[in-house]
Amino acid sequence: MSWNRENKWRAGLVVLGVIFLFAAPNVFQLFTIINMTTAIAFAILALSLGLIWGYGGILCFGQTAFFGLGAYAYTVAAINFGGSTWAILVAILVAMLVAAVLGYFVFYGRVSDVYLAVITLTVTLILYSLMRRTSGPEYKIGKSLLGGFNGITSPPLNMPWDTSQFLFPEHVFYVAMAALILAYILCSWLVQTHFGRVSVAIRENELRAELLGYDIRLYKMALFTVGGGIAAVAGVVFCNGVGRVTPDVFNLYNTALTIIWVIVGGRGTLIGPVLGAILLFYLTSSLGTQAVLNNNLVLGAILILFVLLVPKGIVPSFTEWWDNRRALRTSRRKEVRMRRRRSRLAAANGEAGDER
């Protein structure tokens, strides 16, 4: 698939997203809108991992760490500032700072991919355990009690020019969709820049990229930091969708889910992780209404099936099938044209022979 064709696909997806942005609140009920906001938050989280893993080759088990840090930083900052505008910026900066510091020690320390996964998973579990132990009144940041395993009630988003005017769930959905569209546009632009092409080259062959003069540690750390910032945006959207943030945002289940979303949707694409997150979110939500099948069992079966049968994921497999189908149709058309041309030439030669 050429870059021009990819740009057309991305532009089409953005247009569809904008149409859905304005149509959904007028079609669906309030409960559905809240669920869709949560699904969008998970889609942004999956997009962040799809960026760093699919294009940078960085398998990170800690995207939920930045997701949770974004949610907690936003909530604490909003309570202390009395508004959400600056709190959103604080959440993104905190997550990016932590990602940059962690990335510096990991990538400049030449940590291998396996140990990178272990370290990021360990950081996530440490945050999970730490936040669960903050239930006492002494655990607070400014005016915000951390709340332990009960978490903190998240202040709703407000208008930037009026902190007393809060957004309703329908308006939060608009913000969530806008965040997803902007994050998708940012990632699409980033992977087409020189930085993005170098990141892909590093993913394919680190040694060759380094021999060409690129500082692979700096590129990896920068991509890792951007991914952390996007995950923080997902955390902000999530806590505004559900109205609360608890230590469960750091749990192992969410960590595994994020990786499954990317595997199912397809690495090396941006729309794949988004699609995988939304599909599996609604699948697990529908499974939660019955008692026959266990969610974890179903997700495990899906992961095994995709690893064995569809290792490229939904979007790359569909794209490959579609390209092959178009190529086959094109070759058949060329073959039909050649046959017609031969027939016309044979007929012309026959008429010339009769005249002689």
pLDDT of the residue at 294? 79
Mean pLDDT of the chain: 87
Strand partners, 162: 159
Enumerate the domain spans of the chain: 3-312, 313-356
Contact partners, residue 271, CB within 8 Å, separation at least 6 = 9, 10, 13, 184, 265, 315
Q: Which DSSP letter does residue 291 get?
A: S
Q: Which residue, among 99, 81, 56, has the nearest Cα to 155 in the 3D structure?
A: 81
Q: Which residue, among 349, 14, 302, 57, has the nearest Cα to 198 in the 3D structure?
A: 57
pLDDT band at 11 (very low <50, low <70, confident <90, very high): low
Distance CA(131)–CA(258), nearest Å, equals 21
Q: What is the mean pLDDT of the segment spanning 234-246? A: 93
pLDDT of the residue at 2? 46
Contact partners, residue 327, CB within 8 Å, separation at least 6 = none
For residue 280, give the H/E element and its range. Answer: helix 271-287
Strand partners, 152: 245
pLDDT of the residue at 291? 67
Distance CA(83)–CA(74), nearest Å, equals 10
β strands within 91-177, DSSP E? 140-141, 144-145, 152-153, 158-159, 162-166
pLDDT band at 8 (very low <50, low <70, confident <90, very high): low
pLDDT digits (tens, 9 = 90+) for 168-218: 888 898 899 899 999 999 999 999 999 999 999 999 999 899 999 999 999
25 or 248: which leads in pLDDT: 248
Q: What is the mean pLDDT of the segment spanning 255-280? A: 92
User: Per the structure block, which two tokens stand in for 150?
Assistant: 């009960």
Sign of the CA dihedral 98, 100, 105, 109?
A: positive
Paired sense of beta strands 152-153 and 244-245, if any: antiparallel
Q: Could you tell me the CA-to-CA distances from 34 to 37, 230, 241, 293 in Å, in that order? A: 5, 21, 6, 25
**pLDDT tops 60 at residue 3:** no
Are the CB atoms for 34 and 241 separated by under 8 Å? Answer: yes
Q: Which DSSP letter does residue 74 get?
A: H
Q: Would you call 160 helix, strand, or coil by DSSP?
A: coil
Among 134-143, 146-155, 336-345, which is the least confidently predicted range?
Answer: 336-345
pLDDT of the residue at 1? 43
pLDDT digits (tens, 9 = 90+) for 71-114: 999 999 999 988 888 999 999 999 999 999 999 999 998 888 88
353 or 157: which leads in pLDDT: 157
pLDDT of the residue at 37? 92
Are the CB atoms for 62 and 121 separated by under 8 Å? Answer: yes
Distance CA(60)–CA(124), nearest Å, equals 10
pLDDT digits (tens, 9 = 90+) for 25-82: 777 787 888 889 999 999 999 999 999 999 999 999 989 999 999 999 999 999 998 8
Spacing of C-alpha 58 from chain mean position: 14
Distance CA(177)–CA(194), nearest Å, equals 28
**pLDDT tops 60 at residue 250:** yes
pTM: 0.88
One-letter amino acid at 217 equals R
Tokens 């595997």 appear where?
263
Pick the CATH number of 3-312 from 1.25.40, 1.10.287, 1.10.3470, 3.30.70: 1.10.3470
**pLDDT tops 80 at residue 162:** no
pLDDT of the residue at 344? 73
61 class by beta-carbon count within 10 Å (0-12 exposed, 13-18 middle, 19+ buried) = buried
